[in-house]
Chain A
Amino acid sequence: MAVRMPHWFRQIWNTKGLSRWIFLVGLFITLVFVVFAIFAPWIAPYHFNQTAVDGVKFPKLGSASSDHWLGTNDQFYDIASRMIWGARTGLEVVVMSVAFAGVIGVPLGLLSGFVGGWIDRVLVFLMDAIYAFPSLLLAIVFAFLLKNTLGGGVVAAALSLTAIYIPQYFRVVRNTTVSAREATYVEAARAIGAPPLTIMRKYLFGNVVQSVPVLGTLNAADALGTLAALGFLGLGIQPNEASEWGYDLSRALDDAQAGNWLPAFWPGLMIVLLITGLTFVGEGLNEGINPALRRRRLQKVVFPARTAGEEVSS
């Protein structure tokens, strides 16, 4: 198991041409945002919920100055600080929602594919129904319901996104399980008397989760967009709970119609950059791991130095 990670990374490293660069650029962008997220209190000049310093209120819609690098928005918030803090909110929600979805979707898919029968059919049908539904609408409905019970916080937002991604994990894992179930190694395991749970845990799990990382990163990108969309529609995280780019965009809509586009430009740019980064990582992973798309670059082969005596033995 310990060898897998470097091996898996080497596979991507060794892909040819664009895919490799796409992956590396994506990784770089994502890492920058991770740094923002972790060190937000030290990097950002102000707290995300701060509208005054030393008793002096920030200007409304102030232009960029040495006090406010990117100006302030219509709620007296410092735009630069909200952008940096937003990375933390975005990554928190995304990681949570994708993790929840994986934790529910993967075991369900494994079970459904392995057990088969009517359980499988019912689950597949249910998941297909959820998957067919417009994801944003589903998120809107969940956000609407959770907002009334859990409030407008990070956890509520993450939970309202979870439901949209469960069917994808379910589907991928279930289909791989169905084809892996008949493989010789599973038959062998069964022949030596392994109980179903052991087969699922020890033999199937490792083989069916291969495509989950790719799906996870692509979903993360999608989840970030959906989170921002919820914020934009006024159903996401409240501004005093955490800094969220989508909410800031919705506040900036009227300013843009009035000709002042800067308060809308910055949070949107952050969303685009982070989504692009995550998508690039996902695409790079996909083209590196998927054998149908993978192309290896040529590598120098280094022969081991010959030692004396070897010639004799061969």
Chain B
Amino acid sequence: MSSGSGSGSLLKYIGIRVLLVIPMMWVLLTLVFILLRVAPGDPVTAAVGDKLSPAAIAQRQHQLGLDKPLIQQYVEYIGHVCRFDFGTTITDKEPVLTVIRDQGGATLTLTLGAFLFAVAVGVPLGRLAGRRRDTALDAGIRVFGVVTYAAPIFWVGIMLVALVIKFLPSWPTFGIASPVVAFEVPTKTHIMLVDAVLYGHGDAITDVLKHHVLPCFTLGLLLMGVIIRLVRVNVIQAMKGDYVEAARARGIKEGRVIRKHAFRNALVPVITVIGLQVALTLSGAVLTERTFNWPGLGTALITYLNGRDYIAVQGLVTFFAIVVVIVSVLVDIINALVDPRVRY
């Protein structure tokens, strides 16, 4: 802060933040390795031990390099991850990266849709509650926020499905596309929505969009609870600030004080926390996918968990860890751009 111009210290901050990714990543990878590779014992036996002869098991272990000393496996694991190689599943012998490519798109559109919905509805509601603190409106919005956060997302999903089946029987309640559409649309990007747009038929696009509505809405509700609470508390605290008092003293209208003075400052911590919700979103996505039979990474994870495929689980969990770390760095950088106090 003391030395250098504003942009210089910003670059320095970003540089340090990006460098910090390396130890962070290393800790997480080591944790994943210890938990999933060292703790449970032999993955081949766990996954297909009852189907193969001891000789065949030994051969598979040798193929996968699982007969090497653990320390060597650890070094190789870190090396492979650096080259984006997450291993090959035991149960269906597919590279984990292929699984991620094939099923990641569905998770991506699900989470982005949910995020957009949550921010578009949650921020105005939280602001309203903060502004009208301790009124019936505040109570209503807070209860709504707490209930959407408290209600297990899968239960909300199931109840929505039940409602839709009752009142809108033709609306799709599971999957990412109707079987016909999924069959017709050629796979190019592995993101169903983009593929449908590229395919260019209005019906296909509408069908995929329709399938997105319920899951995105459900996952969005989970995030909205957090956003409402956060915006509300921050607006309340910002309203206590001296600069708000000063703005009022200068005779600025209340609406403008909130819009221009209080709300803008209240948003800075909100941006950070919304960014940190990536972890929550991923957790929620796993549950939402199971609820709506959504062909995403969460579904893949559960499938491999049930097959006791440690290598596949290790690969997917590693990928999730990388996503979380990268997003948290991006959030910190955006935060530094928005709030000059962060770049110490």
Contact = CB atoms under 8 A, between A and B. Distances in A.
Interface in A247-278: 249-250, 252-253, 256-257, 259, 261, 264-265, 267-268, 271-272, 275-276
B151 interface: yes
Contact of B279 (A134, A272, A292): A134
Contact of B152 (A17, A126, A141, A229): A229
Given A145-B40, A234-B302, A132 B279 contact: yes
Contacts of B166: 259
B170 interface: no
A275 B222 CA distance: 14
- B138, B147, B152, B286: residue with the most chain A Cβ atoms closer than 10 Å: B152
B234 to A, nearest CB: 12
A279 B286 CA distance: 23
A224 B280 CA distance: 15
A253 B174 CA distance: 11
A249 B280 CA distance: 21
A17 B135 CA distance: 10
B35 A133 contact: no
A233 interface: yes
A253 B284 CA distance: 17
Contacts of A140: 286, 301, 305
B116 to A, nearest CB: 20
Interface SS majority for chain B: helix
Nearest to B173: A257
- A133, A234, A265, A267: residue with the most chain B Cβ atoms closer than 10 Å: A133
A276 B145 CA distance: 11
B189 interface: no
A167 interface: no
A276 B155 CA distance: 14
A229 B324 contact: no
Interface residues of A, number: 49
Interface stretch (B24-32, B247-255, B264-272): B24-32
B313 interface: yes
A130 interface: yes
A268 to B, nearest CB: 3
Nearest to B39: A145
A135 B283 contact: yes
A280 B328 CA distance: 30
Contacts of B142: 18
Interface string A206-247: 000000000000000100010011001111000000000010
B39 A275 contact: no
B286 A233 contact: yes
Contacts of A246: 152
B33 to A, nearest CB: 12
A125 interface: yes
Contacts of B287: 136, 229, 232-233
Contacts of B146: 276, 279-280, 283
B317 A137 contact: yes
B227 to A, nearest CB: 16
A144 B46 CA distance: 12
B7 interface: no
B237 A129 contact: no
A268 B23 contact: no
Nearest to B308: A148
Interface stretch (B10-18, B97-105, B119-127, B157-165): B157-165
A235 B305 contact: yes
A141 B35 contact: yes
B337 interface: no
Contacts of A272: 147, 150-152, 155
A128 B324 CA distance: 12
25 contacts: A17-B134, A129-B24, A133-B28, A134-B282, A137-B286, A137-B320, A144-B313, A145-B39, A145-B40, A148-B308, A225-B152, A229-B283, A229-B287, A232-B152, A232-B154, A253-B158, A256-B159, A264-B155, A264-B159, A267-B155, A268-B158, A272-B150, A272-B152, A293-B233, A293-B236
Given A132-B324, A148-B46, 16 more contacts: A129-B27, A134-B279, A134-B283, A135-B279, A136-B283, A137-B286, A141-B36, A142-B35, A234-B302, A253-B158, A256-B159, A264-B159, A268-B159, A271-B155, A272-B150, A275-B151
Interface of A: 17-18, 125-126, 128-130, 132-137, 140-142, 144-145, 148, 221, 225, 228-229, 232-235, 246, 249-250, 252-253, 256-257, 259, 261, 264-265, 267-268, 271-272, 275-276, 279-280, 283, 292-293
Listed from nearest, the 3 A-B pairs whose CB atoms lie closest are A268-B155, A136-B283, A261-B162
